[in-house]
Amino acid sequence: MGTVITERVYGDNAEAVTEKILNRMHEIEDNLSINIRTSSISQMNSGSKGSIYSEEVIKILETAKRYSALSNGAFDVTIGPLVKEWGVFTEHPRVPAKQRIDELLGLVDYKSIDINKKENTAKLTKAGQLVDLGGIAKGYAADEAVNVCIQNDVKSAYINLGGNVSVLGSKPDGSPWKIGLQNPRGLEGEYIGILNIANKTVVTSGDYERYFVKDGIRYHHIIDPKTGYPSKSDLISSTIVTDKSIEADALSTATFVLGLEKSKRLISGLQGVEAVFVTKDKKVYVTDNLKKYFTFKDESGEYTYVEKG
């Protein structure tokens, strides 16, 4: 999945379980990656009409459409043509011509994914469309890694898929896991806060993760489906804390694009979902139910913790 997987699994069968997790990750990659020609998603993107897919693929596509609708399109897995055009995930990123971006915007429409759950079929209804599960697949994989642990009677585990963190239970000594939140403008490993959690997932989207600079302008990888350009909301980092990583993955992208105020309203209407938002003016906002699990720890001295509002 183009990322580093870190596992900490505790128990007498820990070594065997870590191997099972890695095998499951390879299965998911083979099924969902747009970079593997034989994957189900590549098959869909190649224009295969109404092909029969696994329940796994249908489930993920349905979940993607649900969060696309919930965010009013701020998260959209049909962003693929624009992601490909910008090339941020390649060795040769570029700034597309505005005319080209405008052309490709017509292909971005999550509603056009035609899913027949009864028949387990799915297709794209517009020629040239591409599904890119980059904003949700790692979350699904993290959930599956936790499921492997549960199925094998593991009580304590830490899974990190390139920043998508899921923890099962508490640490072996009974204390909560401590998850550091990256300073969006600091060096890797510099934090602006610590989350103390158990049986939760933590997923962050930020403009510092992948970007390139062209003519003095910084372009990051999170494309706004409405404009076709990297998101210009007032957020530089959005962290979601909840029970399911697939949900957190989609919502972290959506909220980053929506910006602070719209994201606060969105999260307030979702049960069991909490968030940490960091704005461009270096203010940190934490949703009410998460504050008792959050410790503000700004090593740079540049951020302000806004405890109200």
pLDDT tens-digit profile of 119-152?
Answer: 888 989 888 999 999 889 999 999 999 999 999 9
What percent of the chain lies above the pLDDT cut of 90?
79
Residue 240 has pLDDT above 60, yes or no: yes
pLDDT at 47: 79
The confidence band for 249, taking pLDDT boundaries of 50, 70 and 90, is: very high
The confidence band for 90, taking pLDDT boundaries of 50, 70 and 90, is: confident
The confidence band for 191, taking pLDDT boundaries of 50, 70 and 90, is: very high
Give the tokens for residue 136. Answer: 């949700």
Q: What is the DSSP letter of 289?
A: G
Residue 309 has pLDDT above 60, yes or no: no
Average pLDDT over residues 32-60: 85
Average pLDDT over residues 281-299: 96
Q: How far lies 225's CA from each of 68, 159, 170, 212, 260, in Å?
A: 10, 30, 38, 19, 17
Of 169, 182, 192, 208, residue with least CA distance to 283: 192
Residue 165 has pLDDT above 80, yes or no: yes
pLDDT at 50: 60
The confidence band for 49, taking pLDDT boundaries of 50, 70 and 90, is: low
C-alpha to C-alpha distance for 210 and 232, rounded to whole angstroms: 15
Which residues are bridge partners to 201 per DSSP?
A: 166, 242
Angle between helices 245-258 and 260-268 (to 10 degrees): 140
pLDDT, one tens digit per residue, over 251-273 is: 999 999 999 999 999 999 999 99
- Ranking 73-77, 112-116, 279-283 by mean pLDDT, the lowest is 112-116
pLDDT at 106: 95
Provide the mean pLDDT of the chain. 94
Average pLDDT over residues 60-72: 96
**H/E segment holding residue 214:** strand 211-214
Q: Which domains does the chain have, with CATH numbers?
A: 33-135 (1.10.3980.10), 176-306 (3.10.520.10)
Find the farthest-apart pair of alpha carbons in the chain and give their distance in angstroms, rounded. Answer: 59
Average pLDDT over residues 14-33: 94
C-alpha to C-alpha distance for 302 and 291, rounded to whole angstroms: 20
Looking at mean pLDDT, say which of 1-5, 134-138, 169-173 comes out highest. Answer: 169-173
pLDDT at 1: 63
pTM, entire model = 0.95
What's the length of the chain?
Answer: 309
The confidence band for 298, taking pLDDT boundaries of 50, 70 and 90, is: very high
Residue 13 has pLDDT above 70, yes or no: yes
C-alpha to C-alpha distance for 46 and 80, rounded to whole angstroms: 12
The strand ranges marked E within 89-146 are: 113-116, 121-124
Q: Do residues 295 and 196 touch, judged by C-beta distance below 8 A? A: yes
The confidence band for 34, taking pLDDT boundaries of 50, 70 and 90, is: confident
pLDDT at 35: 85
